[in-house]
Structure 1
Amino acid sequence: MLIVARLLSGLGLGSSLGTFTMYIVEITTPKARNSLGGMAQMAIIFGIMLSQLCSLGLSKPPLWRLLFAMSGLLSLVNIALLYFCVESPKWLAMNGKLAEARDSLQRLRKGTDCTDEWTQLASSAMITNTSEFAIGETNNGNISKTASVIDVLLGRTPDNLRHQLVVTVVVMASQQTSGISGVSFYSSTLFKAITSPDKETGAAASIPTLAQILTSVLATVGTLVMPMCMLLAGYFGRRTLMLWSHGGMAICCVLISVGSIVGVNGLTITMVFVYYAVFFVGAGPIPWVCPSEMTPTYAAAAICAIGGSVNYIIIFAIGLAFSPLLDALGGYTFLLFGGANLLSAFFCFIYLPETKDCQVANVAALHSVGVHSVLRAKYRGEGIEITSDHDSEK
């Protein structure tokens, strides 16, 4: 039953996480995305903290069963709350439901004049529904346009989305090759190592153990840091935060290795906590948000699905490889993660476009020209006017 539960949870997580980030991008204004864009990662880290704190008192038999029951209860609450969610106006417009789209937008912008925003949304939907790529029909006979995963992978889209695809895959992979899973695994091992073996294995072993307490503190630190990182997103660009995050994690990984090699546990533990905090500055939330911020609406779902699949495949691979690497290399293992972070920072510097406070249609049109360096002036959006997803540079 645990295996079946994991399979069902994986299906639910894989479908909902990408959908949630796209939904946030579609219903918010560019400025609101700065704070709301990190909500997916905020929810994840809060859930980890909640589960860790609950496990401190419920890890002994038979109380552990309550942890599983709590997960089911939260799912039921979530299903009930989804009833009150407003459908995405962009999705409705893309599927020819313009009247419903306008009502949905007005509900989201209650008390404000959204005429200009609606005009732009309707105009974009009209271009989408009349393009040569349009396929299928909606219930009321209007044409809808949606690209599948195969369409994106084979380049069967009206726009050249190679740049968006490559950037999405690399930043999603970089989130895990940064070592976040490895640091989480290693922190548990390290925290156990600093606990007296007698206390861990003796008859009078205490629950919660010191290792469990420190692991819970680590999750709590991530939860406390995340809101501050979301505030930083309102002042600094996505690209800048990714560079800071991967650069900071590279330094932390090197110092974790140094502390492990020379036997300075205090340095290692401190750097684990700092690493965890720096991760949420950029590498944690931004990879889930930027694909939807730089991709045309018709292909956003497909590209997010590809990126999310790559992310979870890397998690699986690191979960299998980390223990053998640690046995073979010891403290030197994190030098590999440090190098991976440096490569990720270099990639983001060259290829990751800045999407902060930008209209999705404008960013998508600017970068739908194949893989290119964003350091070139023409791809910074300076002095370029873009009016739709299919307009060229003026």
Structure 2
Amino acid sequence: MNRILSSTSLLSNVSLPRQNKNKLTKALFYAIIVASIGSIQFGYHLSELNAPQQVLSCSEFDIPMEGYPYDRTWLGKRGYKQCIPLNDEQIGIVTSFFCIGGILGSYFATSFANIYGRKFSSLMNCTLNIVGSLIIFNSNTYKSLIIGRVLVGISCGALIVTIPLFIKEVAPNGWEGLLGSMTQICIRLGVLLTQGVALPLTDSYRWRWILFGSVLIAVLNLFMWFKVDESPKWLLAHGRVVDAKLSLCKLRGGTFDEAAQEVQKWQQQIESGNPLIEPTTTNSISGSNSLWKYLRDESNTKSRNVITVLLFGQQFCGINAIVLYGTKIISQLYPQHAIRINFFISMVNVLVTISVSLLIHSLSRKPLLMTSTILVSITAFIMGVAINYNKMNLLIVFSFIYMGVFTMGLNPLPFIIMREISRPQDMILAQRYGTICNWIGTFIVAYTFPIIHDILSGYVFIIFAVIACLISAFIWKMVPETKNRVASYNQIWADH
């Protein structure tokens, strides 16, 4: 105790540069970057099977009589097979089981992070990611691929929940919106990184190194976390007042006394009954704040219906058909350059995401969402026609346009709107429900697309176009405008 008091006294007498609460210090910038690498892991795993899919898998008819073909390089000498026998349904299962893990990880992530802390949770998630990635890298069988994908899915599902919590709690006033958008930007960067790594490595002998890239990212993130302090708000919420002041002082700069003053304001917030960190709802189906009760509560019907349509519909418009299977789609018409084209499509996705992140909070929600959805419908229809009539250039051009118009509205807005249309007391449950809907939608598309695409070819994109058209009509009739509206739940829904 004396040692803590003496260190506190010493820090309070140190003259550091005057604290600016709205300034991004080097320590805070580093912490945001480290946290955001978790989102890069998510994006990397989401798209890691896209490019190598056709060289990773092989039909049983391609296997010689003497057995499975083995890699003839250094890996082959250690028992790695050159390819793994997978049919279209199995490819869909391996790809989609990432979502099963994602549902589990995201559902329990807030509870785990609230108990053990944002930093420790992230360390555990990185560790699990390393284990799952190594299993995928070493896989010679269909079953081991599934196990690895589930593990990395749990890790990424948890990271994608924990990271925004950490960023929200350390962000200075005025920076919450911009820094909060780092999650989506870094997911797109992760997808782009996967496609970039795949450019030189997608062949029958080097495809495993694409999968090993996720191990390197997770190891880097793990060691970088050791230099980041725990969220000061989490520390204070758990009664660690001195640690909260020390953490805030390091993150924001300034003197220890200035950090102590801000922590004191947080304490007053707690005493007034306002939670400092995002609360955890109970997991019991009979609990007063349970997800089961949220689903049965008729007063939430309108907002819940909108959340269901937007979060499922976002996926049923076909975005992850491009993210997960873009190389396969383009290779039908342009096999020599499919990976390169897919890389540039991902680059457009990143650039549009960054642009939208800077503007989205100043734009009206409903018109932007409707515009994005209508344009997605038009471009998906044209892509379907291009595939059916072998119009290579048309497919490539509208693949770029499709990605851009989806990213400008239909990608980010459902996650923003689902909080704004919900009652304050139900906001956490609404967010959890919407996240589960989105994961299930991703699973359905990831599993069924290879099968349906082989049967219907380009007509599957015409189905996406019809769904997007129906969603735009639903938005026009059922979704209220929520930008800058300081109104009660009943007032927001008065006209709908």
1:60 alignment partner, SS class: coil
Question: TM-score, with normalisation over the residues of structure 2?
Answer: 0.57
Distance 1:191 1:33 in 2: 38
Distance 1:267 1:240 in 2: 28
The alpha-carbon distance between structure 1 residues 68 and 120, as it changes in their structure 2 partners (threshold 3 A), is same
Distance 1:146 1:128 in 2: 15
Task: Provide Cα deviations, 1:52-107, integer angstroms capped at 9, x if missing partner.
Answer: 11112122354333333321121122122333445445545655666655665565
Question: TM-score, with normalisation over the residues of structure 1?
Answer: 0.70
2:321 alignment partner, SS class: helix
CA shift for structure 1 position 226: 2.1
Partner of 1:383: none
Partner of 2:359: 232
Q: Say yes or no: does 1:283 pair with 2:410.
A: yes
Find 1:181's aligned residue among 290, 299, 320: 320
Structure 1 residue ranges without an equivalent (≥5): 131-143, 201-208, 377-394
Partner of 2:493: 373
CA shift for structure 1 position 23: 3.5
Q: Which moved more, 1:344-353 or 1:292-301?
A: 292-301
Find 1:334's aligned residue among 457, 461, 480: 461
Partner of 2:160: 17
Contact 1:259 1:268 in 2 (8 A): yes
Distance 2:371 2:178 in 1: 18
Contact 2:245 2:259 in 1 (8 A): no
2:203 alignment partner, SS class: coil
The alpha-carbon distance between structure 1 residues 212 and 249, as it changes in their structure 2 partners (threshold 3 A), is same
2:152 alignment partner, SS class: helix
Q: Work out the number of aligned pairs and report it.
A: 344
Task: Provide Cα deviations, 1:106-149, integer angstroms capped at 9, x if missing partner.
Answer: 6555459899987875555334479xxxxxxxxxxxxx963135
Distance 1:24 1:86 in 2: 12
Q: Say yes or no: does 1:246 pair with 2:246.
A: no
Give the 5 Å matches for 1:289-308. Answer: 289-291=416-418, 302-308=429-435
Find 1:194's aligned residue among 294, 317, 333: 333
CA shift for structure 1 position 181: 1.9
Contact 2:366 2:479 in 1 (8 A): no
Contact 2:333 2:390 in 1 (8 A): no
Partner of 1:147: 281
The alpha-carbon distance between structure 1 residues 125 and 237, as it changes in their structure 2 partners (threshold 3 A), is farther
Q: Which moved more, 1:305-314 or 1:50-59?
A: 305-314
Letter in 2 for 1:331: G
**Percent identity over paired residues:** 24
Distance 2:279 2:324 in 1: 43
The alpha-carbon distance between structure 1 residues 265 and 231, as it changes in their structure 2 partners (threshold 3 A), is same
Structure number with greater Rg is 2
Find 2:213's aligned residue among 70, 78, 85: 70
Contact 2:245 2:260 in 1 (8 A): no
Higher relative contact order (Cα pairs below 8 Å, separated by 6+ residues): 1
Letter in 2 for 1:344: I
Structure 2 residue ranges without an equivalent (≥5): 1-143
Contact 1:95 1:145 in 2 (8 A): no
1:147 alignment partner, SS class: coil
Q: Which moved more, 1:291-300 or 1:177-186?
A: 291-300
Q: Say yes or no: does 1:58 pair with 2:197.
A: no
